[in-house]
């Protein structure tokens, strides 16, 4: 179903915008990585672990943290793991504090991840940014990659800004406020446009997405 939605959205945007159509033709259909096996909560834990770290190092730390919870990854299970064990897995003090705050806010209902599909994008973002270490960008990545929301436009993302400039032949990356207005042309499929902006960067570098 999601693949059909992305294909349909790409076709709609391609009819509106010949430059995006050309990019989509070069990049091919959208292929997203699989959803996190631990759900939205697990995806957020992973996002916190990966902040400001290279992929290999972050993956190793995340793997050690996940191994500390042998069963399902839940806020309660993670709260039961001693701080010393989480620090031993490689978490910094700030990331440990952020993960603890996430656990508490999910457990007490400040952040509601059950039946999250019933919440609007802005409702989800509004709750998530109350968590230490989670800003709007992290919430937007959850919406795009985990929840598969089709109309998210992450204007603060460097890759989206650069990809837009590449696609439309701009001399400089548009600032976030300007990019926000430019994204209106892609509604209600701004996530698809963002994904292709990322692809534009990959194509310019000559690597695989």
Catalytic residues: 157
- Residue 152's contacts (CB-CB under 8 Å, 6 or more residues apart) are 121, 140, 143, 144, 190, 191, 194
Burial of 158 (0-12, 13-18, 19+ CB in 10 A): exposed
- Residue 209's contacts (CB-CB under 8 Å, 6 or more residues apart) are 27, 31, 198, 199, 202
């Amino acid at each position: 179903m999601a693949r059909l939605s992305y294909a349909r959205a790409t076709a709609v945007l391609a009819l509106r915008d010949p430059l995006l159509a050309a990019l989509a033709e070069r990049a091919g259909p959208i292929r997203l990585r699989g959803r996190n096996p631990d759900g939205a909560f697990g995806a957020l834990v992973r996002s916190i672990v990966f902040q400001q770290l290279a992929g290999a190092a972050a993956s190793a730390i995340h793997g050690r943290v996940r191994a500390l919870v042998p069963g399902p990854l839940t806020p309660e299970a993670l709260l039961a793991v001693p701080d010393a064990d989480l620090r031993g897995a490689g978490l910094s003090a700030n990331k440990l504090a952020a993960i603890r705050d996430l656990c508490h806010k999910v457990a007490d209902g400040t952040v509601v991840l059950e039946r999250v599909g019933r919440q609007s994008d802005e409702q989800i973002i509004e709750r998530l940014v109350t968590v230490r270490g989670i800003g709007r960008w992290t919430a937007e990545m959850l919406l795009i990659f985990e929840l598969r929301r089709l109309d998210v436009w992450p204007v603060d993302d460097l890759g989206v800004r650069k990809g837009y400039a590449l696609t439309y032949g701009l001399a400089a990356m548009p600032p976030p406020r300007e990019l926000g207005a430019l994204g209106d042309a892609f509604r209600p499929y701004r996530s698809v446009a963002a994904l292709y902006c990322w692809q534009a960067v990959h194509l310019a570098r000559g690597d695989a997405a």
